[in-house]
Amino acid sequence: MEKEVSFQKVRYDEKRQRILESAGKLFAKKGYEKASLEEIAAKLKLKKGTLYYYIKSKEDMLFQIQMQSLEKVNHLVDEIVKTDMSASEKLVEVIKATVKNSTRAYVIGCINQQEFVFPEKMKKQIIAERRRYHDAFLGIIQQGVKEGVFEEDNWKMRAFGALGAMNWVTRWYSSRGELSPEEIGSAMADFVLKGFGKLYQK
């Protein structure tokens, strides 16, 4: 009996995930505002009523996708921060992981959506996850400043510049483009490292 229940749970979760991924791709294509639940249901050959068995609203889908993506990238960043790599190495790995995470087909149309759209409780959770990322990122920059490889002058502005260079990728990335997310991540990491004045050390 127990087993059957958990099998149902797995099936439920898989289906829910499939719905989220389909919705996320539609958000990327049409924009969050213009995509409708009817269209998401139609794409999955489901009745709109069935959709509500898995998700509460369009907002809820956007929220779930953003949280999945933020939790995943924060987990990856935690793993990177824990290592004994240098700040430069950590920065390269974090940028590569972030670009790869945020360019995934069902994530890319959701990740830049601002938090205004959410009710207070969801907004707080999103902001807390973003804050975690942000603090870890700034921690790596501070490590680099301490190691003497990143310029101290205006280090916070440089950190924001780096976040921008990286986060902006989702605004221009195309899966049909010449470069893979990995190659884009490497190129951005190189740009950012130079921006931190790493060249002074060579």
Looking at 154, 175, 180, 182, which residue binds its own copies (CB under 8 A)? 154
The DSSP-derived string for 14-59 is: HHHHHHHHHHHHHHHHH-TTT--HHHHHHHTT--HHHHTTT-S-HH
HSE-CB for 189 with a 13 A CA cutoff: 21
Looking at 14, 33, 78, 147, which residue binds its own copies (CB under 8 A)? 33
Least Cβ distance, residue 64 to its own copies (angstroms): 18
Residue 133 interacts with its own copies (CB under 8 A): yes or no: no
Contact 54, 19 (CB under 8 A): yes
- CA-nearest of 23, 16, 13 to 62 is 23
- Look up residue 39 and give its two tokens: 């269209």
Least Cβ distance, residue 14 to its own copies (angstroms): 29
Q: What are the phi and psi torsion angles at 138 (to 5°)? A: -65, -30
Stretches 4-12, 38-46, 68-76, 191-199: which one binds its own copies (CB under 8 A)? 191-199
Looking at 9, 53, 128, 164, which residue binds its own copies (CB under 8 A)? 164
Looking at residue 70, its amino acid is L
3 state SS of 149 = coil
Residue 99 interacts with its own copies (CB under 8 A): yes or no: no
**# binding residues, its own copies (CB under 8 A):** 37
Residue 201 interacts with its own copies (CB under 8 A): yes or no: no
Residue 31 interacts with its own copies (CB under 8 A): yes or no: yes
| Torsion sign across C-alpha atoms 159, 162, 168, 169 | negative
Residue 47 interacts with its own copies (CB under 8 A): yes or no: no
Residues forming contacts to its own copies in the complex (CB under 8 A) are: 30-34, 112, 114, 116-117, 154, 157-158, 160-169, 171-172, 179, 184, 187-188, 190-192, 194-197, 199-200
